[in-house]
């Protein structure tokens, strides 16, 4: 029989994903469905990055790469993190992994023994509880509320932290769009130190901040030694398919994760690493160019919803999603998303597909062009108004 550990891993989402699959099937059958479900940029990887990848591969860099990652890439990542956090960071603090998801898995492996409790914030990115179960740990959700701007509250963290091994946070947040403010980060830091928790900080949206400032916990006093940053070039450089990311943490943990990678992923393609070095060498201007459409579309969503009562946008402080509050319609996210798909041919994710904290909301991925997005959001608002 299969191990209980693997049988316990769910596919990722909950029943809420049924709306996504239905929208996909309708579109495949030729219906003009506007898909606002998935978190993937509508542009591809920049041509110059692909050229660097091609040059590297055709230049012969097609063999095994160093499992820990190439020196130049680790140095480039370390420099990026040091410049953002002010904390001395060297290649010894960096292990290269095939994407942020692989980083989440490896970080929990490093932080949790089988049976340990791993905390995460609900609403959450779909893979979180399954990733925790996949390493044999036990997920424990800490619910955040739209009424607090989806910021984790210190007393809730304190209450949940008893006996736990790790806390996973994600700011800027998918699905809520929250960027954790200084108070929230202070609370998180205090609770992690008080309860001796590892803090796993998923920062894949750190280049997409529209309001406030992204604070990496590595920069907070006493936190560098207990923080594992997980990041990737998926969102910052539209490189989702290249599978390239990293963990930054204390050198001994990074070394241990390198040992894990030796028995698991066995490194990342050398030509992808070379492309990543090139991508990072372009600096923040390239990251801003990739983020710019979302900054624009966020404003489009806010403008389209101004003065609307049936549907309201939660603060869209970061990332590529708008979490819309549809509680005034009296519908739950799932019935709303299903009815919207039937009536308007617009696919959105029910808030509940990201956990109970998402109830009464829908998530709109701002991943279609500006005009279609404006049209879709106006139609969502008009549809909601008919349901109040
Ligand atoms: N973390 C969050 C919050 C995400 O939204 C995603 C992808 O959507 C990931 C991690 C995984 O990204 P990667 O492509 O780097 O594995």
Q: How far is the CA of 235 from the centre of ligand 1 (A)?
A: 8
Q: Do domains 4-44+285-383 and 63-282 have the same CATH topology?
A: no
The encoded tokens of residue 103 equal: 């980083």
250, 111 contact by CB (below 8 A): no
Rounded distance, CA 196 to CA 213, Å? 26
75, 81 contact by CB (below 8 A): no
Q: What is the pLDDT of residue 285?
A: 94
Rounded distance, CA 232 to CA 222, Å? 25
10 Å Cβ neighbour count for 143? 18
Q: Provide φ and ψ at 323, rounded to 5°.
A: -95, 120
Q: What is the enclosing helix (H) or strand (E) of 138?
A: strand 138-143
Q: Is the ipTM here above 0.85? A: yes
Atom of ligand 1 at shortest distance to CA of 173?
Answer: 3
Rounded distance, CA 166 to CA 244, Å? 24
Q: Candidates 13, 98, 101, 365: which one to mutate for ligand 1, based on the most atoms within 8 Å of Cβ?
A: 101
Which residues are CB-contacts of 178 (< 8 A; sequence separation ≥ 6)?
144, 149, 150, 151, 171, 172, 314, 315, 317, 318
Atom of ligand 1 at shortest distance to CA of 244?
Answer: 15
Q: Is the CB of 204 under 6 A from ligand 1?
A: yes
Tell me which residues of the chain have a pLDDT lower than 70: 11-16
Q: Is the CB of 39 under 6 A from ligand 1?
A: yes
Q: Which residue has the least CA distance to atom 8 on ligand 1?
A: 39
Q: What is the overall mean pLDDT for the chain? A: 95
Count, residues in the chain: 388
Using CB atoms within 10 A of its CB, is residue 277 exposed (0-12), middle (13-18) or buried (19+)? middle
Q: How far is the CA of 102 from the centre of ligand 1 (A)?
A: 9
- Select the CATH number that applies to the domain covering 63-282 from these four: 3.40.640.10, 3.40.50.300, 3.40.50.720, 1.10.1200.10: 3.40.640.10
The encoded tokens of residue 256 equal: 């241990």
132-164: pLDDT as tens digits:
999 999 999 999 999 999 999 999 999 999 999
Q: Where in the chain are the domains?
A: 4-44+285-383, 63-282
Q: Is the CB of 98 under 6 A from ligand 1?
A: no
Question: Structurally, what CATH architecture does the domain formed by 4-44+285-383 represent?
Answer: Alpha-Beta Complex (3.90)
Taking the model in full, what pTM does it have? Answer: 0.96
């Amino acid at each position: 029989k299969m191990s209980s550990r693997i049988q316990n891993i769910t596919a990722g989402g909950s029943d809420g994903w049924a709306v996504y699959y239905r929208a996909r099937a309708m579109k495949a059958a030729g219906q003009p469905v506007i898909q606002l479900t998935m978190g993937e940029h509508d542009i591809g990887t920049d041509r110059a990055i692909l050229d660097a990848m091609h040059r590297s591969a055709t230049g012969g860099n097609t063999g095994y790469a160093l499992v820990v990652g190439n020196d130049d890439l680790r140095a480039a990542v370390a420099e990026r993190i040091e410049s953002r956090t002010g904390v001395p960071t060297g290649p010894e603090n960096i292990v290269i992994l095939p994407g942020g998801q692989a980083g989440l898995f490896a970080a929990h492996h490093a932080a949790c023994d089988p049976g340990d409790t791993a905390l995460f914030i609900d609403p959450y990115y779909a893979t979180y509880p399954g990733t925790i179960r996949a390493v044999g740990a036990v997920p424990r959700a800490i619910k955040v509320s739209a009424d607090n701007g989806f910021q984790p509250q210190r007393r809730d963290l304190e209450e949940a932290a008893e006996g736990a091994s790790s806390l996973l946070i994600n700011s800027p947040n998918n699905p809520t769009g929250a960027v954790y403010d200084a108070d929230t980060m202070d609370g998180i830091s205090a609770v992690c130190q008080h309860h001796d928790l590892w803090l796993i900080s998923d920062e894949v949206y750190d280049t997409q901040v529209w309001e406030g400032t992204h604070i990496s916990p590595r920069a907070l006093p006493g936190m560098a030694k207990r923080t594992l940053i997980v990041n990737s070039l998926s969102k910052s450089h539209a490189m989702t398919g290249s599978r390239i990311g990293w963990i930054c943490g204390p050198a001994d943990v990074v070394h241990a994760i390198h040992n894990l990678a030796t028995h698991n992923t066995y490194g990342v393609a050398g030509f992808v690493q070379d492309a990543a070095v090139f991508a990072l060498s372009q600096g923040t201007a390239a990251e801003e160019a990739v983020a710019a459409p979302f900054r624009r579309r966020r404003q489009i969503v806010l403008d389209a919803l101004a003065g609307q009562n049936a549907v309201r946008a939660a603060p869209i402080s970061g990332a590529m999603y708008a979490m819309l509050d549809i509680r005034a319609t009296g519908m739950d996210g799932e019935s709303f998303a299903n009815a919207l798909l039937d009536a308007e041919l617009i696919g959105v994710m029910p808030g509940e597909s990201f956990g109970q904290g998402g109830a009464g909301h829908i998530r709109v991925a701002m991943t279609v062009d500006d005009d279609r997005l404006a049209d879709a959001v106006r139609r969502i608002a008009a549809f909601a108004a008919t349901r109040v």
